[in-house]
Each structure stands twice: as structure tokens, then as C-alpha cells.
A and B are shown apart, each in its own frame.
Chain A
């Protein structure tokens, strides 16, 4: 019994100056059916809570590693280091997927939704990382199906070949998979837009003039998508819509500045104009 519980007990006794309680307590048969069943409940609840805690821990690890991957991807400054960083990020994401595999193993035979709250933050962050990498590679949005396809795990040995050769429906015993829910996917994508906004500002700083326009267009598409969903989705999704709108505005303003000032200022000075411009935007955000 925890210390907390002990304190509670003490308090309780304080409010009972008379001695009834003791006597009655002693008369309780500790092997009675009630006690026996509560002992079973104890075991059941402990097992459940332990599993939940393990999943929270895994989820946290997934979040941290995903965040690191995102930072790594932000370090792409010019064409020369793109390949190198993409390879490195792939390694990192593989590590994250190993963690997700552990989650999938933990959830084997369980109702995923029972523990959904434990793992959902990690999965969202993973979607953010994986979609960011995908965007850098292909300049498009990764689909939910593609995300989930990467989360089918097979036993490391021989079965690896099977996985590569086909999407054979014959499920082996040693297959685990976990599905990112549509809502987690949406929330992950919403967070992605924040990263894209940063990438846009950074790329101007690096003298990359084309990327901001590409990003602006892409963000516009995502914004349209979210507007289409509107508030039919759960509350969290509608909440993100607001942040998304702000990110989009920043990127659009950046593009505007680029267009207007770009014609008159030499490329190397543009970055300076820009960093001061974004500062102003950030300050405005702070006020609102």
C-alpha cells in the first residue's frame, strides 16, 4: 500500500474516536468471497495500469526521437547535404519504428482504443516527422495508408523477405501492426504545417527563393483540406485549424515580401530583410 493510502487511513481513524471500527474490522473474514474477488480485481487493475504506464513511456520515447528527427531535417541548408541528412533521418525513423513495434507487441490481442490515450501523442509526433521527411523527399503529402503500411512489422529473420515480396494476405503469427487513427493522422499533419512554416523562413535565410513559393502552395492545399473537414471532426482538430491559419499567413506574407522586395534587393541581403520581417510577425503573435 502506498504512503498516500496510509495517510488516508490515519485521517479516517481520527474522525472515529469510538472503538467500533476495530472490532468490526477484526471480524472480517479475509478469505471471504468478497475479499477473494477483490484480490482478483487488484491483479487485473495492476496489470492494466502497468501496461498503460509502459505504453506512456514508449510513447514519450517515440515523441522525443521524432522531435529529434524533425530538428535534424531542419538542418538541411543546401542541396549538398540533403542526401546525407535524409539518410540519417531514415535511420532515426527506423529506430522510432522499432519503438512503435514494441507498442504494437504490447497491444497484441488488446483493444487498441483502450490504451489509445497513452500512445496517441507519440503517434502524432511520428506522423509529423515521417510526413516532414516525405515532404522533403517528394514535395507532397504522405497518405494515411502509406503511414500505416510502414507500421506493419514482421519478425526480423526470414519473414523479412515475405514482407518485401508481397502484401500476401496470409498473416503470419509473428506479424504485428498498428494503425494510426485518422484523427491522429490529421493532428500530426496539422503539426507538420508548423514545421513547414519554419522551413519556409529558414530557406529564405539560406537564399533559397523557390522553396517558399512551393511551401505556400502546399500549405494552401492542406489548409483547404482542413477547412473542408471544418468542425465535423473532433475538437482537437478544429483547434489546430487556428494555428494552421497563422502559419499559413506567415508563409503567405513571406512570399509577398519576397515578390515585392525580391526585385529590388540583391539576393544576399534579402535574408536580412527577412529575419527582421519574421520577428515582427512573431511579436504580433505574442500580442494576440
Chain B
């Protein structure tokens, strides 16, 4: 084979690679669009009136996850199944976003941390790498960290809306999450950076709890919480 023939062959491979990436980008864009729509729905819970409406909003968000599933199914077909990590960078970000959204919905519904298996079920993908298009553990953890920031905000806004018990529950939840993350030996990568942000979320929530308890508002809240539920 002559040198020029070799390079022509290589060029062919590179072009094919570009084409695949182009296809993937298209689907990822659609996914990002849907993710933004879900986020818009869920943002409603931060407003005063939104607090009564949480189940409704979750229901709406869950409908959108149907679209997410469709997009992800089509994404799977765009590249060879055993080359997930070759193109991982393309959907990594949006997948983290979707994990966050799913985790937020689950939190609002049950006040528990979504498991990795549950997320993959909501998104219609696999939990294990061997089975196909899966959720990378780092992406899952990243999404969960975004949830922490969102909950810090929710704690503040629920006080504004007159719900004094929610920040206490969020505080317990986030502390457990924090202890969980402490178990991990993170490398000096992007996940580590995200994790370093967690302490500010913890701090914010503790400030809210502090403000409530110093004024005795948390006592009143525990009484009131029963009625609300």
C-alpha cells in the first residue's frame, strides 16, 4: 500500500467518525431542549404558590421524561454499542443534567435520594456497562451534587413560603449525602471540584436551620408539619 493510499483510508475513517459525532450532536441538542423544559416545570416549586402544587409539577415533569426516553433510545442507535466512552463527552453533560432532574423529582415526591438504578429506569437506560448504553457512575454522582445546590435554594424559598419544617428535613437529607460523599476517594477531577462545592450548600442550609431554631420557629414547624403532610 502506498503512503497516499494509507492516508486516504485514514481520512475515510476520520470522516466517518465526524459523521457519527454530527448525528450524536443532533440528538443531544434535542435532549438538552427537553431537559430545559423539565427544568422550567420544576423551577415552579420555588415560588410561593408552587409549594402546594408539587405533586402536580412532578407529574408534569414525569411526562417529559417520556420524551427523554425516546431521544435516548435514538441516541443509542447512532454509534456502535461497544464504543460508549469514545463519544461519552458529547452526552455527558446533558446526562448529568437529566440525572439531577430525575433526582429532584424523586426528592420532591418521596424526600429520598434516587438510586442509580431508579435513575436509569426513569431515563430508560442501563445501570451496567455490559448491558449497553449506561449511566456512568461519575455522571450520576455529578447529577446528585447538582441536586444538593437546588435543595439549598429550596430550603431558603420554603422558609419564604412559610414552610418551616422542610429546611429541617432537607438538612438531614443533605448531611447524609455529605457523609456519603465523604466515603469516596475522589481524584482531582471535575467530580472532585463539584464535590468541593457541596460544603457551601451544606453551609447555606445550616444557616437557614440556624435562623429558624434561634427564633424558635422550628418548634412551631414540627407541630405544623403534620397537618401539611
Please give the residue numbers on chain A whose beta carbons come within 8 Å of chain B beta carbons, in ascending order. Answer: 1-2, 5, 8, 12, 15-16, 18, 20-21, 24-25, 27-30, 32-35, 37-39, 41-42, 44-46, 48-49, 111-114, 116, 140-141, 143-144, 182-183, 185-186, 218, 221-222, 224-226, 228-229, 232-233
Contacts and interface: CB of A to CB of B under 8 A. Distances in A.
B7 A42 contact: no
A51 B85 CA distance: 16
Interface in B177-229: 177, 179-187, 196, 199, 202-203, 206, 209-210, 213
Interface residues of B, number: 49
Given A12-B202, A44-B137, 19 more contacts: A12-B199, A15-B203, A21-B175, A34-B113, A34-B180, A35-B179, A37-B116, A37-B180, A38-B180, A41-B183, A111-B129, A112-B85, A113-B88, A143-B6, A144-B6, A182-B10, A229-B11, A229-B14, A233-B14
Contacts of B18: 232
Q: State the majority secondary structure of interface residues on A.
A: helix
A22 B176 CA distance: 12
A114 B116 CA distance: 20
Contacts of A183: 14
A186 B91 CA distance: 26
B176 A28 contact: yes
B177 A1 contact: no
Interface centre among B82, B199, B210, by most chain A C-beta atoms within 10 angstroms, is B199
Given A21-B206, A32-B176, A228 B182 contact: no
Given A32-B176, A37-B116, A228-B4, A111 B10 contact: no
Contact of A37 (B8, B115, B202): B115
Contacts of A20: 206, 209-210, 213
A2 to B, nearest CB: 7
Contact of B6 (A16, A42, A46, A141): A141
B164 to A, nearest CB: 15
B150 to A, nearest CB: 17
B171 A24 contact: yes
B182 A5 contact: yes
B184 A25 contact: no
B84 interface: yes
A226 B7 contact: yes
B39 interface: no
13 contacts: A8-B199, A20-B206, A20-B209, A25-B179, A28-B175, A34-B180, A45-B137, A45-B138, A112-B85, A221-B2, A224-B4, A229-B14, A233-B14
A12 B3 CA distance: 61
A1 B182 contact: yes
A143 B179 CA distance: 53
Nearest to A44: B137
